[in-house]
Chain A
Amino acid sequence: MRKILLPGLIIASTVLIIARLFYLQILDDSYIKKSDNNAIKIVYDYPERGYIYDRNGELLVANQPSYDIMVIPREIKNLDTLEFCSILNITKDEFLKKIEKAKVYSTRLPSVFLPQLNKIEYAAFQEKIRKYNGFYIQKRSLRDYQVDVGANIFGYITQVNDAIIQKNPYYKSGDLIGMQGVEQTYEEVLRGVKGVKYRQRDRFNKDIGSYKDGKYDTISVQGSDITLTIDIELQKYGEALMKNKRGGIVAIEPKTGEILALVTAPSYDPALLVGRERSKNYTALYNDSIAMPLFDRGLLAEYPPGSPFKILTALVGLQEGVIDEKTQFLCHGGFSYGRGAFMRCHCGSGVRDLNIGIYKSCNAYFGNVFKLTIDKYNKPRFGVNAWSNHVQSFGLGNFMGYDLPPGRKGHIPTSKYYDRWYPNGGWKSSTIISNSIGQGEILMTPMQLANMMATIANEGYYYTPHVIKKIKGHQIDKKFTTKHVTTIDKQYFKPVINGLFDVYNHGTAAGLRVEGIEICGKTGTAENFTKINGKRVQLTDHSVFVAFAPRENPKIAIAVLVENGYWGSRWAGPIASLMIEKYVKKDTITRKDLERRMLEGSLQFEYDKVTSGQPFSINR
């Protein structure tokens, strides 16, 4: 017994020591992390973000240097807070708040203390940086906008928030990321890849060389430049025309699906969202719930399209064989589609065939066509589904898949939709007759309207609209070069296009002809409502216009929507014709009076009605 005490003790304690070592070194891996935090400092090298050009190679978005003050809270030592605050021109309260915020993120990882210093502020701080342990300067590049338009297309750059950091480990606190527009869609292309250097440091936080001779270091990859399909001159012109109005313009090149202009009004100068004033300006824009400058109406606003939709009613009727070019209907100031059911028409009664129906926008004609289409089938359900299928083949009723924020789907009803509304059945063509003239249950965004016109211009096919033309060193997404063919045969487009051409010759847009360009278009007027104090109130109609030009070999398809602009040829029509002239002729506008009227015209009084609190009348 006495002999084995010491050897027993030796073996027992050795087993304990080895067990403890096994726990520390093998089972518990928290020490590896702690050791890395201790001794390894990660230094990022941020590449410059790619430039953005317009379709003609004009530089739209470049970069400017900016300097962030970063802080590592646990390394702050002997700080002369008073001097520090006075150099940066912040109060002590702000200082404490920022430090507290940084600590909440992490005491040992860097976070942004003060973002985006300009060169002068940077120079003043740089002189003293040595004195401020725990603070350092991180150079980044900020956007430098060469134009004051297109904010909705570009999007903006912002610091990543916690949710993004959680989701995507690439981003670290203080990193920048593109939001909205192409900055978001092409974030990975534009940003490039930041370089990482692992530096080893000693307990005084002094750099003592690279970690493992740079074995894990990576070099930064430059962001790629991108070229947009936007014609910046057209974009500028569109934004100017929409000044003091609300609404959107979407212009597409039919044969490629390239978006030439995407205007939303009101908009803002993209430069507002750069630099230290960014968050203040953003908040102001965000909080403007009346004009909603951050709301991209071209993609997000869903309206009943009104008369432009009649084009599809006609095409479906032709395809289904319920009418031909020569089929005639009598309009007697409207369309009596059932007992006591009457859809009024303002075309000025008479016998209507396809051509006249289109250029006079005769409600009675299209009501008849729609009714025949649905009633061709023995059950309205089959009729509606056939119709819906044709209409959806124009890219309606669903997300279009363009390379911008996804916007809205719009709405094209199917039989399911009506079965839900009328669970006991009993709905028929006459129940849903408003769809024939683009009212009823149909909703479309301006982008969808423009795409519809592009499809008609192409006589039956379209490419998914997109803003990307070229990415340096990359291919653009194949889906933008894939043809979508509609269910309507090519031969049926000619008579409809002729009708659209006659809208300008002797129809609702006769006053908007442009010398030397054959335009095909269609006016529209969309009823709309809002809620004031919980009551549904009708407002002045939206002015809608869709068109493409020239008739032969179309170069541009366009949809214009002016909120509360009343009838189609009052605001939307002229603006569309000016845009077409600007794009097709590429020189100065000939109709100076019309141009001035549009540029200077304001609909502010219409918008003020809603907020005035006074009773008001509409459609004057």
Chain B
Amino acid sequence: MKNQSVINNIDWLTVIIYTLLVIMGWMNIYSASLPAEETSIFDMSQTYGRQMLFIFLTIPLIFVILSMDAKIFEKYSTVFYILGIISLLGLFAFGKTIKGQTNWYQFGGFGFQPSEFVKTATALLLAKVVSDTQVNLKKFSHQLFALGVFCFPVMLILLQPDAGSAMIFLSLIFVLYREGLPSWYLWTGFIGAALFILALIVKPVFLIGFAALVMIVHYIFNTRITRNPIIYGLIFLLITGMVFSVDYVYEEVLEPHQKDRINVLIGEDVDMKKEGYNLNQSLIAIGSGGWTGKGYLEGTQTKGGFVPEQHTDYIFTTVGEEWGFVGATVVITLFVLLFLRLIKMAENQKTKFSRVYGYCVVSYLFTHFFVNIAMLIKMFPTIGVPLPFFSYGGSSLWAFTILLFIFIKMDANKVNEW
């Protein structure tokens, strides 16, 4: 009887959007990797064949999650987290290195990327920590503890190194903000990132001069009694130091390919055959779509294989080319509907644990979505993250499915909460 009530209370809109995205994803993967000869759509030597298998395997996965006791996730969140950390540590011993990144386990024919699942575990632990009545995010030590929950895996992932995945974890800061983290954390992060980009484009002298001007104006109009010239001075010193260290970071810390990606974005003169190739081909594919696209399986960029990795990180270029502006907008709208729906569900949760977890899910999915699409249309540096539910890959599909359906299960179970 309990199970039945769960099924009845599932948020079907979310499930329908999920299903639509997965199906559309597969169709585009099929187009992006269609070989010259006709083969079966179940052909396991082809990416679309394997993706079909991955999709079928999500069905038992979903059933298992939905039939589990909703309390398990909270209860064992620490265990999941520790298992996740161990799997990340294990990579350094047993992982497979591809293109300089050690973020895969290889089991026979299939690969497994633990960081995808660590996201879920981290979200669960973070929800548990934040929902703990002892924890107050106004307190500095508690803030550090909460941040530590996801900064620890971020460190391990950066060592792989996999900047893209690490970045996704950082989006959990939005969740903490929702739960009471002071806003200067966000501002510091935002200003820091903005300064970094600006420092690469504008001469340091101008940037520092501009910062000084802004601060002087702020000081003059700051009517609070607590305004302290020393704090202003310190912040100014910090900014100056940051601006001048950007060059150092850029030249010494960033890998050449990361520098290229930033150069491409800020419009430096780059070779369209080398470092600029991916982005250029991506723009051509999307840009040539027009209003309604070239038609399904008719994309010349897609068929000619001009866009590299098109079935994984670049899958949205197929949408843009073959379905045009209309198709791309439909897909984006589906995603946004999903996000807003999830936020609404999170706000409706009866427990803080499930609300925080819900926010974590939205933060992850949205960051993936934004970083992935923005990089294809030259709004963001090229960072390899998959498009949730769309991109080819078993680990990523299952990880996102688990992440989402745990929340769906929690949401369906809220009738049993009191």
Chain A interface (Cβ < 8 Å from any Cβ of B): 2-3, 5-7, 9-11, 13-14, 16-18, 20-22, 24-26, 28, 30-32, 34-36, 38-40, 200-203, 208-209, 211-212
CB of B86 within 8 A of chain A? no
Known: A38-B284, A39-B300. A26 touches B377 (CB 8 A): no
Cα A25 to Cα B291 with chains together (Å): 7
* 0/1 string, B340-360, CB within 8 A of A gives 1: 100100010000000000010
Q: How near does chain B come to A351, taking the closest CB pair, in angstroms?
A: 91
* Complex interface residues of chain B between 348 and 385 (CB less than 8 A to chain A): 359, 362-363, 366, 370, 373-374, 377, 379
Check A208 against B332 for contact (C-beta < 8 Å): no
Check A25 against B340 for contact (C-beta < 8 Å): no
Partner of A31, one of B177, B283, B329: B283
CB of B328 within 8 A of chain A? yes
Cα A29 to Cα B40 with chains together (Å): 37
Partner of A25, one of B180, B306, B320, B347: B320
The majority secondary structure among interface residues of chain A is helix
Cα A18 to Cα B328 with chains together (Å): 8
Check A22 against B288 for contact (C-beta < 8 Å): no
Known: A2-B177, A17-B377, A21-B325. A7 touches B284 (CB 8 A): no
Check B377 against A203 for contact (C-beta < 8 Å): no
- Residues from chain A with Cβ under 8 Å of B320 in the complex: 21, 24-25
The majority secondary structure among interface residues of chain B is helix
Check A20 against B343 for contact (C-beta < 8 Å): no
CB of B289 within 8 A of chain A? yes
Q: How many residues of chain B have a CB within 8 Å of chain A?
A: 44
Cα A315 to Cα B328 with chains together (Å): 84
CB of B138 within 8 A of chain A? no
* 0/1 string, B14-46, CB within 8 A of A gives 1: 000000000000000000000010000000000
- Residues from chain A with Cβ under 8 Å of B399 in the complex: none
B347, closest chain A residue (CB): A3
Partner of B288, one of A3, A6, A31: A31
- Residues from chain A with Cβ under 8 Å of B305 in the complex: 202-203
CB of B115 within 8 A of chain A? no
Cα A39 to Cα B321 with chains together (Å): 13
Cα A93 to Cα B281 with chains together (Å): 35
Check A6 against B366 for contact (C-beta < 8 Å): yes
Partner of B285, one of A22, A26, A35, A36: A35
Check B286 against A7 for contact (C-beta < 8 Å): no
A35, closest chain B residue (CB): B288
- Besides A13-B374, A36-B300, A211-B300, 16 more A-B contacts (Cβ < 8 Å) are A7-B339, A9-B366, A10-B336, A10-B343, A10-B362, A13-B370, A21-B286, A21-B377, A24-B287, A24-B320, A26-B290, A31-B284, A38-B281, A202-B305, A208-B36, A212-B298
Cα A201 to Cα B305 with chains together (Å): 9
Known: A6-B363, A202-B305. A20 touches B287 (CB 8 A): no
Cα A504 to Cα B286 with chains together (Å): 85
Known: A20-B379, A21-B377. A28 touches B301 (CB 8 A): no
Partner of A39, one of B301, B325, B347, B359: B301
Known: A21-B328, A211-B300. A34 touches B336 (CB 8 A): no
Cα A10 to Cα B332 with chains together (Å): 11
Q: How near does chain B come to A572, taking the closest CB pair, in angstroms?
A: 68
CB of B84 within 8 A of chain A? no
Check A14 against B377 for contact (C-beta < 8 Å): no
- Residues from chain A with Cβ under 8 Å of B366 in the complex: 6, 9-10
Cα A22 to Cα B326 with chains together (Å): 10
Check B373 against A17 for contact (C-beta < 8 Å): yes
Q: Can you pick out 9 interface pairs between chain A and chain B where the beta carbons lie within 8 Å of each other?
A: A2-B178, A3-B178, A6-B362, A9-B366, A10-B362, A24-B287, A31-B283, A35-B301, A36-B300
